[in-house]
Chain A
Amino acid sequence: MLTASSDNQLRWLSITLFGLVVALSLLPCLRLLSEALSHWDRGLDAPLLSILQNPRTWVALQNSLYTSGLGTLISVVLGSGFAFVLTLTNIRYRALWIFCFMLPMMIPPQVTALSWLQLFGPASPILNTLGIAPALGSPQPMYSAEGIALLLGIQHAPLVFLALRSQLICLPKDLIEAAQLSGASQWRLWIDMIVPLSRNAIFAGAAIAFVSALGNFGIPAMLGIPAGYSVLPTLIYQQMAGFGNDVLSEVASLSMLIAFLVLIGMLLQQWIQQRSSYSLIGHSAQPASFRLGKWRIPTQILLCAVLCLILIAPLVALVISSVVPALGVPLTADTFTFAAYNEMVNNQGSTARAFTNSLLLASLAALLLMIITLPLGYRLMRLSLKARAVIASLIEVPYAIPGIVLAIAFILLFSRPIPIINVTLYGTLTLIFLAYLSCFLSVCLKPVMSALSQLDPALEEAAQIAGATPIQRLINIVLPLISPAVFAGGLLVFLIAVNELTVSALLWSAGNETLGVLIFNLDESGDSILASAISVLVVVLVASLMALLSLLAPRLPKGVIPWHC
């Protein structure tokens, strides 16, 4: 063990962590900023100003805020509803429900969008069977701002769910019972007790969902472009489809706009969070649980219905679209074929590579981030509230800006060899790995910070009195109590990273493709069936991994695996 004194330990910890944050979060932002501010000498024609003067920018901004806001609302309702029911009640088959709820994150958003379009379109197998399929060419309700918001909401609901669940597990029974004794009805209990106590976690989850929605490209691309409804990420994509040297600067400017929005949102969330922090973790009481009684069956039916919509329907659509010979061919006993799977598994070398790369990147990123965020969160808690808010918001930015733009920042930073050690990272898997670290740091940090702020300070003080140095306290006391949140963060990173598309889309080079890139490329170039085949394989793979984790669950602390009780 280190013989360094406590002060020394704290200092080294701070320096290392600070250096990491600078490298991962500050540098890319600064590079983008310098790019956005380039050609300043052109005055009013400078890229940044021409972007700000363009009315399309402001329309896109408004649309972004609307769809992201509405989408976040939907995520919160859906995610917290599931979290409350699945954590605090005595519903049966809990593990199964949770498992199913987390699965939609596995399906690429474009696929979800497409399956919904098909669900309500003229070629819908379900509607055709029921005989109520709309006529060829009828208007599609999904091509609208509300359609975008709905899908964004569904896509990000698991984020709110995870954030809230690790909080609710720690809700002690005696607080609920005290309220019950005061005569509170079930309904009042929720409103007066449970919701306020989980407020922090709901806000944390809502914040991640909002930021994810702001930077989401796939869904508004699929549903917004046809309706002429643009949001900031699709506007950026438009810029990229242009020609000339100003493209990068204009793209950087637009992403700075997004970054600015994110910073404001984050500061707001920090401010709200500070005003209500209750020390909950560490109460040695039993966790709360409600009896559903006669509501059990209706609740299960409701959950089932929701899951059918957000999970079963897209999955079925996905599978169907992978076993037909060509797009638009109805699935019958004759047309059923595994040709797509055959092609991807046996003929395309890219399949095996993409799987290996994605799994490797996702698990390494998750692991490393789990290791980093605990001491980082711990150190941040010791800063003043203002400093903490600023740094947390800074860390948030790489996640919020569209993946494409982050990739551009990394290209600009790393295309030349790193000085002194003369190693070229460009074009390697390592660069994508670093970009993932930068991008997902905030995803892992959020649940950890939320849990740390709820920790009873007396627990650490008792360890201090016992003689423990900061590192010892971190490992012996803080880590075991926070581990559900740490694992939730790591799991979240893994789930998002394995399907990740936009960052690796620009950073990959020969031999380094990821699953997201593979699927998107196939889909975009018209090989949608092959894309569906890979998507199905990905879903199967991730579901198996999650099942494997379930097997390990008894050996891990309670609450670490979200769907295992």
Chain B
Amino acid sequence: MTFKNAFALCAALSVSPLIANAQETLTLYTSQPNTDAQQTVDAFEKANPDIDVEWVRDGTTKLMTKLRAELASGVVKPDVLLIADSVTMESLAADNYLYAYQSPAREAYADSLYHPEGYYYGTKIITTGIVRHKRAPETPKSWADLTKPEYKGQLVMPSPLYSGAALIHLATLTDAPELGWNYYEQLQANGAMAQGGNGGVLKAVTSGSKPYGMIVDFLAIREAAKGSPIEFTFPTEGVSMVTEPVAIMEGSKNKAAAQRFVDFLLSKDGQALVLEQGYLPAREDAGVPAGFPQRDAIKLLPFDAAGTLKSTDENKSRFSDIFGG
């Protein structure tokens, strides 16, 4: 009896998503914050009224796990991905899950921001810098400052064990000659604490439990604009970046619509939206949001996506050896 009930329920509930649409449907998996994702989708649908976008938002970790489980069963649900970092994209490309698309819009972008064969395209430049509580006694100007005794036990940072962006930050800094692994060892000796993700760092710094932190730029700058008692600095040595790339799945059944989505994100309008949302657009000629310095004042540290992918496990265990957990 209960079996029959269950199946009746199944049948009833699964009919709803199968209701036919005259529109084309594009499924997007993204790790952008909810409000940003909603705005992006709204803007794209406005510019392309014949396409309906269904989007799923989750943290990169969970999103990727979900995607992997689906792929392991041989099912490809999303058409486009818009996720935090290029290392993840590299990994998907290496497993042949992505579709190479040479978008015409790529002319306006620096080479380092997209995959040469067109597997993925960076849409923003999200850097990781230093944030401090306004009441904090010190004002750090460089990464090296954080190893000074005044900062002992006062620093929080996102953990590369849990956050892809933090992992890239780790890889970038350890590759930089003046910082390297020695830097992290010094940080640990100075009592730095590794939090779960950027949201956690924000909470810790704004509540004052740790007056200094490493965090992504837009989060700190946006919240400061709303009145949070915090301040963001671009350190003098330079910053690491993640580009929130967009990519098309090889198994997508709607490649045409997917291509239009990619083109939109890379277009002037798409980048103007990015600017409005408070991120630094990847497109060179798109200007900078309020609270950011000029583009040429931001020094980007060099970064190798493919190399980072290879050394992931090694980096993680080394970090874990230093910091525990």
Which A residues lie at the B interface, using CB under 8 A? 16, 19-20, 56, 114, 117-118, 121-123, 136-137, 139-140, 143, 221-222, 224-230, 234, 237-238, 240-245, 247-248, 251, 325-329, 335, 343, 348, 350, 364, 368, 371-372, 404, 407-408, 411-412, 415-416, 421, 423-430, 433-434, 505-506, 508-511, 517-518, 521-528, 530
Contact = CB atoms under 8 A, between A and B. Distances in A.
Contact of A509 (B56, B91, B135, B229): B56
A121 B207 contact: yes
26 contacts: A16-B3, A137-B154, A226-B200, A228-B194, A230-B325, A241-B162, A241-B164, A243-B87, A247-B65, A329-B227, A329-B229, A348-B35, A348-B38, A411-B70, A415-B73, A415-B75, A423-B14, A427-B77, A430-B9, A506-B69, A511-B17, A521-B59, A522-B33, A524-B199, A525-B33, A530-B35
Contacts of B70: 411, 415, 426
B54 interface: yes
B208 A430 contact: no
A372 B27 contact: no
Nearest to A329: B227
Given A123-B208, A327-B228, A404-B65, A528 B202 contact: yes
B283 to A, nearest CB: 23
Contacts of B88: 243
Contacts of B199: 523-526, 528
A329 B206 CA distance: 8
Interface stretch (B101-109, B252-260, B308-316): B308-316
B11 interface: yes
Interface residues of B, number: 91
A163 B223 CA distance: 45
B223 A525 contact: no
Nearest to A411: B69
Given A243-B91, A404-B65, A408-B65, A228 B325 contact: yes
A327 B69 contact: no
Contacts of A371: 2
A75 B74 CA distance: 44
A225 B197 CA distance: 10
Contacts of B16: 428
Contact of B13 (A225, A234, A430, A530): A430
B161 interface: yes
Nearest to B31: A525
Contacts of B206: 123, 326-328
Nearest first, the 5 A-B pairs at minimum CB distance are: A328-B206, A228-B324, A525-B33, A228-B325, A326-B226
B159 A242 contact: no
A430 B60 CA distance: 25
Interface in B47-94: 54-62, 64-66, 68-70, 72-75, 77, 87-88, 91
Interface string B182-205: 000000000001111111101111
A371 B10 CA distance: 18
A328 B198 contact: no
Contact of B95 (A143, A222, A245, A509): A245
A416 B74 contact: yes
Contacts of B1: 16
A425 B14 contact: yes
A510 B79 CA distance: 13
Interface in B118-149: 133, 135-137
Interface string B1-42: 111011101110110110000000001000011110010000
Contact of A527 (B34, B61, B136): B34
Interface of B: 1-3, 5-7, 9-11, 13-14, 16-17, 27, 32-35, 38, 54-62, 64-66, 68-70, 72-75, 77, 87-88, 91, 95, 133, 135-137, 153-154, 156, 159, 161-164, 167, 193-200, 202-212, 219, 223-224, 226-230, 309, 312-313, 316, 320, 323-325
A118 B210 CA distance: 12
A416 B76 CA distance: 10
B315 to A, nearest CB: 11
Given A20-B3, A243-B88, A229 B325 contact: yes
Contacts of A245: 68, 95
Contact of B228 (A143, A229, A326): A326
A140 B193 CA distance: 11
B33 A527 contact: yes
Contacts of B161: 225, 238, 241
Nearest to A224: B325
Nearest to B188: A228
A395 to B, nearest CB: 15
Contacts of A243: 87-88, 91, 309, 312
B300 to A, nearest CB: 22
Contact of B65 (A137, A329, A506): A506
B64 A240 contact: yes
Contacts of A123: 206-209
Given A56-B320, A343-B35, A415-B69, 7 more contacts: A139-B153, A143-B193, A241-B162, A411-B66, A415-B75, A421-B7, A426-B70
Given A251-B65, A425-B14, A136 B135 contact: yes
A20 B137 CA distance: 62
A425 B153 CA distance: 50
B77 A238 contact: no
A434 B3 CA distance: 12
Contacts of B33: 522, 525-527
Contacts of A327: 202-203, 206-207, 223, 228
Contacts of A425: 10, 14
Contacts of A118: 207
A428 B195 contact: no
A328 B230 contact: yes
Nearest to B7: A421
B158 to A, nearest CB: 10
A532 B268 CA distance: 35
A230 B199 CA distance: 19
A136 B208 contact: yes
Contacts of B68: 245, 247-248
A234 B325 CA distance: 9
B228 A328 contact: yes
Contacts of A506: 58, 62, 65-66, 69
A348 B133 CA distance: 31
A455 B219 CA distance: 59
B153 A222 contact: no
A522 B69 contact: no
Nearest to B88: A243
A348 B34 CA distance: 9
A264 B49 CA distance: 57
Given A137-B153, A240-B62, A350 B34 contact: yes
A153 to B, nearest CB: 22
Contacts of B162: 225, 237-238, 241
Nearest to A349: B38
B11 A524 contact: no
